[in-house]
Structures are given as structure tokens and as C-alpha cells.
Chain A
């Protein structure tokens, strides 16, 4: 399963990078969303899928899934959410100020470089 998941993560990264390289600000933000999904799945995959029960103590079972990657991902999810929210509002503000969402128009000019 880990082998398949490696390909899934690679696919997510590919799609994310493709979106991030687009002109529209919206697509870029969606791309970052896909990128964080890919990263989270990658962390989980790298922790391996051994263990058959969730990492919660219960009587008689010791075959837990690895809890550490899960803790890391949980932190990462929250942080990427915060960043995405910020980014969204930033895009909104940029659009309301600049009246464009086209990245190729948002260049530094000679004066404000």
C-alpha cells in the first residue's frame, strides 16, 4: 500500500505545482491546498501503515498505528489551515486594491522594486 501511496502523493504534488504555476490567484491558492494534502499523506505514508488499531489505549491490544506522524500531521493541518485562510483574505484584498487576480500583471515596476 505504501508503494501505491507514494505514487498518489507524487500525483498530488504534480497537480499542485501545475496549479501553483498558473496565472490566476485562485488557482494558486487551490494548488497550495492540494500541496498540503499531498504533504500530509506523505508524512502518514512514511510513518508506514503497520498496526491495525488506532493509537488509543484499550484492553489487550498493542498493535497500534504509529502515533507520532499523526501528531505531526495534526499540527500541520492546523497550520496550513491558518495560512490558507490568511492567503485567501490576502487574495481578496489584493483583488479589491489592484482589480486583478492575474499574477503576470502583479509585477514590481521600476519604481517600487
Chain B
């Protein structure tokens, strides 16, 4: 029970944050928050020995048992790794934020509540085995991310960024929910483990590819893949600890996690392999290419994150090929999944530290614009060192961990070119080429980021603040992360045995039965000169040349038309299409005119009913049951028709009302002819009173005016009325011509005297058999009377000038 409970610890702790903030205002609230992730790191670390042996630990808390929905904490290599990343980097980020956010000026309780909410949501995402609760936590990450991006909610850009990220990620989340539902229909369970067990049968299902694409859309939007990456650069309006935590290390990796988690189910499909690897590669290239266009430190890092996420994604796609290869344990594709996880860890370390450095630079100089910065090296030596370590690792240089994973990435990309399934033999050659070009750009923007900020002349006097080295507390977290970057380079195999191999087992469970079987040994130097090493040399050489000539060709980015960007497309869809065009469209038919609405309604009813009659072949005319027509009836009908026509086309209202009276009296004549004395009586009386009422009311109402209307509406009015008339006639004819069961009235006729003691069957029905109707009909009359009285007597609004 405690294991599931641990997911919710951050959420529980969040409840107390306002108390700490309001009551103990002398201590920065962050110190209280720090306890939570530190505890979680220690707690999850206790699982490491068991998990690294290949065990899985599962605990369940029923939520809606009747629907099979429960909170499940399922720890295997993959989810433990993510849990540790979330809580570990969470602790560092909280520590950093203590120095970054001012205790007196910021609404800290809000900040930490959102942050803890997010932590809970992320832990839930990576540990949930139940797809419904996974979705629940998934959307909770979107919501908390929305709140965190919009933390400085008095800024327009923050609100814009928050809205944009939510629009895109929630849209993706909805798609993912659809995919989950389809999967659960196919497999009849919400449990991912059980679905993985059924994976071979699921592949043949018709819904399989649909579910695959929907779930991928969820993953791609969350992980900022092409073309959904556009929210990430705008999310940089968040406070820097948030950017470091959510938008580099954890939340954007939720999509990666999802892809990794569902690989055992979907990797059987060619669509999956292609979509994941190609999208990842395109994102990698696109992000690295446009990172150099950015002027904002965090903008560069945002695009760099997009690009690196694309790298991990493409590795997962290539790793899925292992499912299609004979003897995959020995094939090269097993490297891909391994490299993906490895790079994921590396990226979390160096990108987290770089974001923190960007935050420090912003904090100490007052600007993040790379054109204004420069020459900070001697002023901020520690930050500079950390930035160098992070950037070089990002560029893939030794002796930093990025080098190792980049090498493995290149290995995987080279091997895919030789793969001869799914058309990879023809298109596969593009993979290493694009990967290589993207790596060159990665190299350049890494250098661009660090050297344009810290070296060069710079104009330190013109900066908003006088720069100085950041306080020690602020430097702790980036230094720890940078330390990890270096340490991981030297001990990659310990990391691999403890974390990566169990995680790879979760991604490729069919291939291995225990982590020891994964015979991958990471080494900085293989002892031989391989193709990928040559590629690395090429990257460094070309990257250096291009970096040194950057000033000359960076202008080329301005050549891209600013109208044709994806951001413009988003703005167009949200602000033009939805706000303007849809409003204009609804303005077209929602005119406010009741006549128009009535003609919509009546016309569509008529059309639907008539169409249904003929489509269902329900229209019949039968003369068998009909009673004979008598001459006097024809005369009454003629009178009725003449009266009706007069009513409709009368020029004056008095003619109309008299003609309406005429119609009423002929109706009462009909009642006489058709043996309904009570009706005739009532109709006569009511018609008389009605005519009197009409006359009374008309005395107060204006004269008829000529009906002025456009011909178009006159046509539709005639059309609608004829359609309704035809509909009624057709329905009446069909209903009359096909009666299936007799009337219930035989019972009334037989028992009216014996049971009810009356002779007038209609009256007995009204007051005895169906007395309830009468009761409420009386109520209707009473209400109408009271209503009329109230309308005439109560004139509250006449005093005011408006109705």
C-alpha cells in the first residue's frame, strides 16, 4: 500500500505549503518542499538492487473495481529509472529554486503547490500500469505544466505560452485516451502488462493501427516532436527551475516513456517503426537546425531539447526493429534501445544543468539575449565551467557522457542503413546522413550557446544588472548535475548494469529473460577506429569550421519566410479559424430571428420525416378501412378550406379573426358529424371565448401591416409550410392505413357502467379512468390564469428604461 501511497505524497505535501508560506514566512518555503523529493529519492533507491536483477514490483489500490480501474504502482527498470529521475532532479530543482525565487516578492506557495502537483502526476504517469489512471496523471501533468508556465500570470507572453502548451498537449492527450480505449477494447483489459502479454494477437486486430497512431499522437505532442514542438519554445516563459525540470528533464520525456512502454505491444507493426524513427529523426534535424536562429538563451535550449528528444525517439523507433530481426539478442538493433535510455539519462543531466546556468545568467545579468551577453567567463567562472561541461556533453565530446550516447546513436543509425526490411534498404541511407548533419548543427549550437555567452568582448557595463557570480546555493544543483555528466562518462557500465539494462528489458521483454543477458559493454574507446568515430571527427571538424564562420551564414535564417512557420499555422488555426471564421459562420445562421429558427426546425423535421417514410418504405394508402364520404361532409370541408385561406391571406385583422372563428365552428361541426357531442359543445364555447379574447387583445394591438419580406425568405417560408403540410398528410395516411392492434376503448365501452357507474363514456374517461389528465389540465388553466394576471398586474420593469 505504501508504494502506491508514495505517488501521492507530493500532492499531500502540497496541501501544507500555504500554511508554511503564511505562518513560517522567515524560512523559504522551498526548504520544506525539499523534504519530499529527497525522501522519494531515498525510497526509490531502495528498490534499485531488486530491480537491477530484473525483478518487478507491483502494488495496486482499487479505485473503480467495477470498471477495472485502479491505481497501480508498477516498478520495473523503466519506471524506476524515471521515478528516480523525477524525484532526483526534482530535489535539485527545488534546491535551485530556493535561491532563484525571492521569498518576499514571489507567491511561493502557488509555485510549490504546482510543482508538487506536477511531481505527483509524473510519478503517476511512469508507474501506472492501468491505462485509465495513466491518462489521469498524464492530464494532471498538462494542467500543472499549464499552471507553472503561466506562473507569472501578469505577463501576456506567459499566458500565451501556457495556453498554447495546454492546447497542444491536451489535444494529444485526448487522442491518446482514444488509443487507450481502443486498446482496452481489443485486449479487454486496462492493464499494460496484460496487453503486452496479448501483443501477438493484438497485431491482427483492425483497430490496432488506429490505436497505434492515436497513442503516438499523444506521445508526440507531449514530447514536442515535429510538428507539435511549437509549444515548447513558448513554454520558456516559465520560471527557469520549471523549464529545467518540466521542459528538459521530465515532462517532455513522458512521451518518450510512453513510446518505450508501448514498444512491446506496437513494435510488431511496421507503421510504428517508421513513424517513431522518422518523426524522431526529422525532429532531431529540425530542432538542431533552428536552434541557431534563436537569440534567447532559453530559446536555444528549448530547440536543443526538441532536437535531443527527437534523437531519443528515433533511437526507440530503431530499437523496435529488434522485434523483426532473427536472433535479435546479437543484432546491432539491441543497441538502439540501450542508447535511447542512456541518452535519456545523459540528456536529463546536462540539459538540466544548462537550463540552470541560463537561469543564473538571467538572474545575475538581467537579460537572456545572447546578443547582449558575452565576456562573462572571468566574472562567473563556476557557471562557465558548468556550462562548458554541459555544452560539450550536448555536442557529444569526450570526456562527457554525451559522447558515449552519441556514439551509440551513430552506430544505430549506420546499422539501419543496412537493414533490408520495410523499405529501409532504399530510404535507410538517409538516416545516418540526416543524423550526421543534425549532429553537426548540435555541435554548432552547443558552442554558440556557451561561447557567445561567456567569451568575447561583451559589453558588461550595458547589462541591466552588474554581473557577479551566483550565490553558492544556486550553484549547488548545476554543479551536481555537471559532476554527474563527467562521472557517468567514466562509469557507464555501472550505470548500465544498474539502470539501463533493466529498462531495456522493459522495452524489449521478449528478447531477454534477465538483465545479465544484455551483453552490451559501453566503452569510451573500443580499441579500434570505427565508422562512427570517423563521423565524430567529421562532426567536430565541420562543426568548428561552421561555428567560426557563424556570423557570415547565420543571416540565412532570415531568408525563411516568417509567414510559413508552424507557429503561424497555430495562430491561424486558433485565432483566425476558430475565433473569426467559426464566429462568422455561426453568425450566418444564428441571426437572432425566431422566424428563421422556426423554419430551420420545422423544415428539417418535415424533411427528416418524409425522407424516413420513403427510405423505410413505410408509406401506404389503404382505402379498405375508410368510412364512406357523405355530401354534407364535403360541404363542411369546403367551408373549412375557404375559412382557412381567408385567415391566411386576409388583409385586415378583423377578417382574419372572423375567419378563424369560422374555422373553429366548422371544426365543431366536424365533431358533431363524427359523433363527438362533448367535443362539439366544448369547441363551440371555447371558440366563442377565444374569438372574444382575440378581439379584446387586438383592440390593444396595432393594425396589420403589409408583410414586407425578401423573396428568398418568402420562398423558404412557402417551402417549409408546404413540406410540413405534406408531412402531416403522409404520416396521417400511412398511420391510418396500417393499424396493427385494435383500440383499448372496447374495455371502456364494456365497463363504463359496471365499474364506473356512468353512461357518458367520454366524461367517465376524463374524470374516472384517466382523472389525472384532467387534474393537471385544470392546473394548466389555473397557471395560465395566474400568469395572465401577473403579466397585467406586475409591471416592475416599466420604471426602468429597459425591458
Contact surface of A with B, Cβ cutoff 8 Å: 1-27, 29-30, 33-34, 37-38, 40-42, 44-58, 62, 64-68, 70-71, 73-75, 77-79, 81-86, 88-93, 95-98, 101-104, 106-108, 113
Contact = CB atoms under 8 A, between A and B. Distances in A.
A44 B784 CA distance: 26
A21 B627 contact: no
Contacts of A84: 690, 693
B193 interface: no
Contacts of A14: 721-722, 724-726, 728
A1 B797 contact: no
B728 A13 contact: yes
B759 A78 contact: no
A15 to B, nearest CB: 5
B758 to A, nearest CB: 8
Contacts of B629: 1, 4
Contacts of A70: 676, 678-679, 762
Contact of B676 (A2, A30, A65, A92): A65
Interface residues of B, number: 101
A64 B761 CA distance: 10
Contacts of A24: 704-705, 707
Q: Tell me the dominant secondary structure on chain A's binding face.
A: helix
Given A4-B637, A70-B679, A78-B686, A10 B726 contact: yes
B648 A18 contact: yes
A90 to B, nearest CB: 6
A101 B698 CA distance: 11
A68 to B, nearest CB: 5
A104 B671 CA distance: 38
A68 B744 contact: yes
A43 B358 CA distance: 80
Nearest to A48: B625
Nearest to A51: B675
Interface in B104-161: none
A15 B644 contact: yes
Contacts of B645: 15
Given A10-B729, A11-B644, A26 B656 contact: yes
A57 B629 CA distance: 26
A98 B802 CA distance: 9
B677 A56 contact: yes
Interface stretch (B261-269, B304-312, B344-352, B659-667): B659-667
Contacts of A106: 594
A37 B728 CA distance: 13
A45 B667 CA distance: 12
Contacts of A58: 759
Nearest to A67: B761
Contact of A44 (B623, B676, B752): B676
Nearest to A7: B729
A97 to B, nearest CB: 5
Contacts of A96: 700
The 9 tightest CB contacts between A and B, nearest first, are A14-B725, A10-B729, A82-B784, A6-B732, A65-B675, A107-B592, A57-B759, A18-B721, A67-B761
30 contacts: A1-B626, A1-B633, A2-B625, A2-B626, A10-B729, A10-B730, A13-B724, A14-B724, A17-B602, A20-B598, A21-B595, A21-B717, A23-B707, A26-B656, A26-B698, A33-B660, A34-B644, A44-B679, A70-B762, A71-B765, A74-B679, A82-B783, A86-B784, A86-B788, A89-B697, A89-B787, A91-B697, A96-B700, A97-B803, A103-B595
